[in-house]
Amino acid sequence: MPIRVRFAPSPTGPFSFGNARTALFNWLFARHEGGKFLIRIEDTDKERSEKTHEANLLMTLEWLGITPDETIVRQSERGAVYESYLKKLLEEKKAYYCFCTPEELEAERQAQLSQGLPPRYRGTCRALSDEAIAERLKKGSGVIRFKMPESTVSFQDIVHGKASFDGSLFGDFIIAKGCREPLYNFAVVVDDYEMKITHVIRGDDHFSNTPKQIAIQDALGFPHVHYAHLPLILGSDHKKLSKRYLETSIYEYKEKGYLASAVVNFLALLGWHPEEDREVLTIEDLVREFDLRRVQKSGGVFNPEKLEWLNAQHIKRMPTPALAELVAPFISESWRANGEMLLRVVNVEKERLKHLSDLPMLAGFFFELPEYDAKLLIWNSTPPAAILDNLHFTLDVMQEIPPSEFEKGTIEQYVMTVAEKRGRGEVLWPLRVALSGKESSPGPFEIMEVLGKEESLRRIERAIQKMEA
């Protein structure tokens, strides 16, 4: 049977790491197995579902490259489908209307608790006659409960192994608030069947829903599916992940200058790792190596420093032209207009970038020499006169380099003849400051290669004027 999986988010909050990890594992599994990946928006909860959350989640998935192979399904558009299956269960007496009031249910619960019994619905409305039901429905609405079998429900989970639940502990749970208002456990079963889903991959928080869903599948005569429940995501202290991360929309990371490939790499390692413990993995690596059987049972640890580190690794490994395109939203119009220069800057700075957004701060001096204090040109306690002299000598030597040979290696050879005679720090420090106007920057030869001969000489002349003033 062809493999088909689905990611089924409820658009009731920001699209966070937990959701995205579930989406990614489904997508990777489908890609690895040559199957299909589908998206189903579970928006039956009208009060809590919001279109803005849905839009944010689809935009984020698009950014991460986790895109569906078929049209997106929305539960809010499928009322008639649920109705027909609910009616079937009602007709076959596998489900029934319940009119118990919240007060009655609460009293029942308290009575059970006081007897030391696990609370569950006693089945008061199970025995109502069709006439009594019709009568009650005329006066008002009732909920629909599923007749949960008392037998054991077992399934084989790909991550956790065999699981067994005592069906008698669940009681007859509510599957719909009316024929057109199905609740989660029922809608999921109907949709998974209609969408021909073969594997349900989702968070551990749904583990205890699985026996209920299997019982509904049996009642409707649907085949079972395979399950894989993914471990919780824990904070770096191995405790519950803090709200800050649970509720941050991942799209904000795009805006902070993270690469999609780094975020995907990070998500993949939340509860899974490849055979050898490699950490930096491309999307192609992940698709090739992803295996649900290697998903761990215990919580995946969320370490924000690791995300930052992975981002730097992905930036470093990215071809310069592609990286120059990705930094475009973070830089000014004038930088973007100077494409040649931008490529050279990105090439030099990509070793130091942790986020795409760091570029303006790190590399602004290439485009415009910042104001700096002449004192910055002085290396340790070198007398200012010697610094000035060294700048003059360096300038003279550099004049000799033919513009066509103005590249790092050649510049270095020329300048080092001065530096060897007059001291490395004494020559190279003022030179680097003259070129960058900054206390820290890439080395002077790299900067000059980016700036070109004319601009480099101009900046050294500027430093000489500063020293003379």
Write out the catalytic residue numbers: 243
Which among 7-15, 304-312, 321-329, 360-368 is the span making contact with ligand GLU, rule CB under 6 A? 7-15
Helix intervals (H) in 171-209? 184-194
- Residue number with CB closer to ligand GLU (202 or 254): 202
Q: What proportions of the chain, in percent to the nearest 5, are helix, strand and coil?
A: 55, 10, 35
One residue of 9, 182, 257, 437 binding ligand GLU per CB under 6 A: 9
CA distance 5 to 226: 10
Which among 4-12, 110-118, 148-156, 287-295 is the span making contact with ligand GLU, rule CB under 6 A? 4-12
Reading the block at residue 355, the tokens are 């986020």
- Residue number with CB closer to ligand GLU (8 or 464): 8
Cβ atoms < 10 Å from Cβ of 7:
24
4-7 and 233-234 beta bridge pairing: unpaired
Q: Least distance to ligand GLU from the beta carbon of 88, Å?
A: 21
CA distance 377 to 380: 10
Q: Which helix (H) or strand (E) holds 155?
A: strand 152-157
Asked if 53 interacts with ligand GLU (CB under 6 A), we say no
Q: Which residue is nearest to ligand GLU (CB)?
A: 202
Asked if 206 interacts with ligand GLU (CB under 6 A), we say yes
Q: Least distance to ligand GLU from the beta carbon of 127, Å?
A: 32
CB 29 within 8 A of CB 35: yes
Asked if 8 interacts with ligand GLU (CB under 6 A), we say yes
Which among 2-10, 78-86, 142-150, 240-248 is the span making contact with ligand GLU, rule CB under 6 A? 2-10
Q: Least distance to ligand GLU from the beta carbon of 50, Å?
A: 14
Helix intervals (H) in 195-250? 210-220, 243-246
Total of chain residues touching ligand GLU, rule CB under 6 A = 7
CA distance 354 to 118: 53
CA distance 178 to 281: 48
DSSP 8-state class, residue 380: T
Q: Least distance to ligand GLU from the beta carbon of 142, Å?
A: 25
Q: Least distance to ligand GLU from the beta carbon of 232, Å?
A: 13
Reading the block at residue 223, the tokens are 């085949």
Asked if 190 interacts with ligand GLU (CB under 6 A), we say no
Asked if 175 interacts with ligand GLU (CB under 6 A), we say no
152-157 and 161-166 beta bridge pairing: antiparallel
CA distance 21 to 60: 12
Residues 18-47 close enough to bind ligand GLU by CB under 6 A: 42
Q: Least distance to ligand GLU from the beta carbon of 166, Å?
A: 22
CB 447 within 8 A of CB 436: yes
- Residue number with CB closer to ligand GLU (30 or 188): 188
- Residue number with CB closer to ligand GLU (202 or 459): 202
CA distance 313 to 315: 5
Which among 3-11, 45-53, 334-342, 448-456 is the span making contact with ligand GLU, rule CB under 6 A? 3-11
DSSP 8-state class, residue 160: T
One residue of 4, 10, 25, 142 binding ligand GLU per CB under 6 A: 10
CB 262 within 8 A of CB 307: yes
- Residue number with CB closer to ligand GLU (9 or 364): 9
Asked if 231 interacts with ligand GLU (CB under 6 A), we say no
Q: Least distance to ligand GLU from the beta carbon of 93, Å?
A: 27
3-state SS class at 327 = helix
CA distance 192 to 93: 23
- Residue number with CB closer to ligand GLU (188 or 264): 188
Asked if 188 interacts with ligand GLU (CB under 6 A), we say yes
| Measured CA distances, 41 to 12, 226, 238 (Å) | 10, 21, 31
- Residue number with CB closer to ligand GLU (8 or 460): 8
CA distance 187 to 434: 68
Q: Least distance to ligand GLU from the beta carbon of 163, Å?
A: 16
CA distance 279 to 295: 15
Distinct helix (H) and strand (E) counts, the chain: 21, 12
CA distance 120 to 126: 14
- Residue number with CB closer to ligand GLU (202 or 350): 202
- Residue number with CB closer to ligand GLU (49 or 265): 49
Q: Least distance to ligand GLU from the beta carbon of 9, Å?
A: 5
One residue of 202, 212, 350, 459 binding ligand GLU per CB under 6 A: 202
- Where do contacts with ligand GLU occur on this chain (CB under 6 A)? 8-10, 42, 188, 202, 206
